[in-house]
Amino acid sequence: MKDVQVSIDRIVVEFTDIYWDFFNHFKLRLRQYLNFSLSLKGKGFKYHLHVRDSGHYLHISYQLTFVPKSRKNTLRIECHPDSLVHFHSWLKPLRDNAREILFVRCDVAFDIPLPISELFTLSLTGRNMHTWQGTRYSNKKHQRQVAGYSRVYD
């Protein structure tokens, strides 16, 4: 098929064993220089920072809620690959203070120049496709973190 474009829409990376003191200082510096919002949640990660700057975004999550309280925790970033370059100077100290840097996942987009009505989608692993509000999904919503989850939309 001609004119199919493939791109990475989002990348997720974890930094392990980031000390609370470092994260707190990092968060305060972000607040001083960039526009961000902070939220606290009771599931998944406790601290969520949403940073926006010049059309780029960076979502930072810190401290998994289900692990025992510790001075060292996991920090996760989610962003578009172009935003990794844009926020490089902010991410370098994370790299220097982490024990490990782990690739978690990425979202890959295939741009196929056909209307969805002319596109046949099939799961090779036997997953059921279902349609909701014009978008085709394989797997259920709670399976979004599972390899092979897909959405097909116009």
State the DSSP code for 80: -
Number of domains in the chain: 2
Structural domain of 142: 114-152
Write down the pLDDT at residue 153. Answer: 62
Residues 68 and 93 grouped into a single domain = yes
Last residue of a domain, one of 89, 106, 123: 106
Q: End-to-end alpha-carbon separation of the chain, Å? A: 17
Last residue of a domain, one of 106, 124, 142: 106
State the amino acid at position 129 in one-letter form.
Answer: M
pLDDT tens digits, 9-31? 889 999 999 999 999 999 999 88
| pLDDT above 60 (res 144) | no
Residues 102 and 125 grouped into a single domain = no
Write down the pLDDT at residue 47. Answer: 95
Write down the pLDDT at residue 4. Answer: 78
Write down the pLDDT at residue 145. Answer: 57
Residues 50 and 100 grouped into a single domain = yes
pLDDT tens digits, 120-140? 777 666 667 767 777 766 766
Residues 121 and 51 grouped into a single domain = no
Q: Calculate the dihedral angle through the C-alpha atoms of 98, 31, 29, 90, rounding to the nearest 10 degrees.
A: 50
CA distance 61 to 137: 27
Residues 118 and 135 grouped into a single domain = yes
Strands 101-111 and 5-19: antiparallel
Write down the mean pLDDT value for the chain. 84
Residues 58 and 91 grouped into a single domain = yes
Token code pair at residue 107: 């979202």
Write down the pLDDT at residue 146. Answer: 59
CA distance 18 to 5: 37
DSSP H helices, the chain, are 20-33, 81-86, 88-97
Strands of 150-152's sheet, edge to edge? 129-132, 135-138, 150-152
Residues 128 and 97 grouped into a single domain = no
Residues 84 and 140 grouped into a single domain = no
Q: Which of 45-49, 102-106, 110-114, 143-147 has the lowest mean pLDDT?
A: 143-147
Percent pLDDT > 70 in the chain is: 82
Residues 27 and 92 grouped into a single domain = yes
pLDDT tens digits, 28-71? 998 888 888 899 998 899 999 999 999 999 999 999 999 898 99
Residues 90 and 121 grouped into a single domain = no
State the amino acid at position 91 in one-letter form.
Answer: L
Residues 24 and 73 grouped into a single domain = yes
Residues 89 and 121 grouped into a single domain = no
